[in-house]
Amino acid sequence: IMSKNKSRESVKVVVRCRPLNRKEEPNGPAGGIVQMDLRLGQVILRNPRAPPSEPQKTFTFDAVYDANSKQRDLYDESVRPLIDSVLAGFNGTIFAYGQTGTGKTYTMQGVWLDPEKRGVIPNAFDHIFTHISRSQSDKQYLVRASYLEIYREEIRDLLDPNHGSARGLELRESPETGVYVQDLTSCVCKSLKEIEEVMNVGNQARAVGATDMNEHSSRSHALFLITVECSQPGPDGRKHIRVGRLNLVDLAGSERQTKTGVQGDRLKEAAKINLSLSALGNVISALADGRSGHVPYRDSKLTRLLQDSLGGNAKTVMVATLGPASLHYDETLTTLRYANRAKNIQNQPRVNEDPKDALLREFQKEIARLRAQLNHRRWRSKQKKDQLEGEGWERDGDEETEGEEEEVEKEAEEYMKMEEQRLEKEKEAIREDQSMLAEEKQRLLGEKEKMMGDLRKQQEAAEQLTAKYKAMESKLLVGGKNIIDHTNEQQKMLEIKRQEIAEQTRGEREMQQQMLVQDEETLELKETFTSLQQEVEAKTKKLKKLYTKLQCIKAEIKDVNDEHVRSRQELEQTQNELTRELKLKYLIIENFIPPEEKNKIMNRLTFDPEEDQWKLKSLVPAERSEVVWIFFFHLSIYV
């Protein structure tokens, strides 16, 4: 059952500009082409190749952050409200978009060990587990995490130890959950430390490489997925479950071969990265336009995974990252244009209430079943103990408090010890009885040993059941318990004040932007003239303003055309490089592979419309593959 609330909400777009790096610093501050008005949320871009008379380009966003901005400011103002929505049961997505080397990974991850430089992802982890620790004790939570990368249009599970050699995972679509990755590893996380460990394991497996623009360039798109399930009693007395899903996306940067200097495998990686980012740009353009009936989500795996985040059931924050150097003017302008278009995308977020695939409900059922089995075992043990002691005992209910459970468990353990002692005494009595025949003694001792063995098995089964029950119960987080040590009242008050300041800053910026638009409109309405000369001057001034706007639009059209020409030339250059490699492979196939072998491979090819690619059919049926593998293994040992 989904919430009826289908209110539309725009994608929130914020822009961040990094400082000049070592290579760019020799040009000095004059080399910077980006100015930011933090109060109005505006980015002013100067064209270094244009004459001074040409007007600068101005873009307005939900928030902007300059080179002096702090990680915490960006999080509190632009990301914290989204995480709160996820904890309330909404889907949420945060993704960083921009040219390679502009600080996307720094914004998303930052420096984990430095509290001042921690990025969006570690701050989001802390936010989620702090919220759980401060929530009411009648709430139960289940937190799961998955980590994947899209490398050369292949989806890899970063939490799979064999992800390097494993086959790429496939995308599937469900009416309830939308697009999902089949067989993706999901880890239950019970603390901040555990989810950070999951992230660290994935980061070690992620594809990175050096280019001329970035020493640690991301060569893949990475998605860290967090699912937060919350169960709490409703007005009807029944437990209701809300499921929030958070996608934390660190995109690889767009790059031009002429600037990055990549070759070989790095060139192929760059081609795939640019192709998927181009598909993302086409999706943003189609959604922003509003008139297009078709949105090309299926053009890449990245856009399919972000389908709900762009125009679907999610709240989305896009962080566009810029480089301030004049060398990167074209890429900076392209990023700002995409970000400006993304502001017009309308999503339809809604609360995910009582979904069918909620794992928390399955956990609760399993825990209830195990508890019932344990209670039944303890009740039987206590009943036998009371019978031995000659006391009657009636079971008056299935539900027991934690203290009662501990008491019954203690009594059951005492019963087991008493039984062991009793059996030992009986065995000793049989051994000391001189009137019994040896065969009879042996038979009775054998029976007692069997009873002792059964008792031990029963005790081991009870211990295993208890361990399983405690393991299942430990995966659920209960509100009100101290998961994080520093969640004291002072810290809570400090965070509330910080949040209030961030909301106030956000409100002031929105009011300033509205006032700027309204002032222009009001000025035109209130305009009155005392003489004909004054009217001529005012109209001339207005005409000049409109002429300037016309010149800006003409310059914009020229820029767009130039950008298309550059993009086309870059694509043609990449195409030529790849065509050359393809011709080399064709040459090798034609000269070194027999025609009959080539035909065998061609006959095995099948087209998968779901994945939109060609695949090789397996030579061996699935059920026989393991047997054949064992056969070849033994054959290799023999040889």
Residues marked as binding for ATP? 98-105
How many angstroms separate the first and last alpha carbons of the chain?
Answer: 62
Kindly state the DSSP code that residue 47 receives in the 8-state scheme.
Answer: -
Residue type, 639: V
Helices (DSSP H) in 390-488: which residue ranges? 402-432, 438-474
Residue 233 CA to residue 237 CA, distance in Å, equals: 6
CA-to-CA distance for 613 and 338, rounded, in angstroms?
Answer: 28
Task: Give the residue numbers of the binding site.
Answer: 98-105
Q: What is the token pair recorded at 306?
A: 């972000």
- How many residues are recorded in the chain? 639
Side chain identity at residue 64, one-letter code: V
Where in 42-113 does DSSP place strands (E)?
42-45, 57-60, 63-65, 91-98
Q: Write down the residue that tokens 């949105």 correspond to.
A: 295
Do residues 255 and 100 lie in contact, with contact meaning Cβ atoms separated by under 8 Å? yes
Q: Are 21 and 367 in contact (CB under 8 A)?
A: no
> How many whole angstroms separate alpha carbon 213 and alpha carbon 100?
7
- The pair of structure tokens assigned to 534 is 């004054």
What CA–CA distance (Å, rounded) separates 90 from 293?
26
Separation CA 295–CA 305 (nearest Å): 14
388 contacts: CB under 8 Å, gap ≥ 6: 415, 418
Neighbouring C-beta atoms of residue 222, cutoff 10 Å = 25
Cα–Cα dist 94/247, whole Å: 6
Name the token pair of 491. Answer: 């810290």
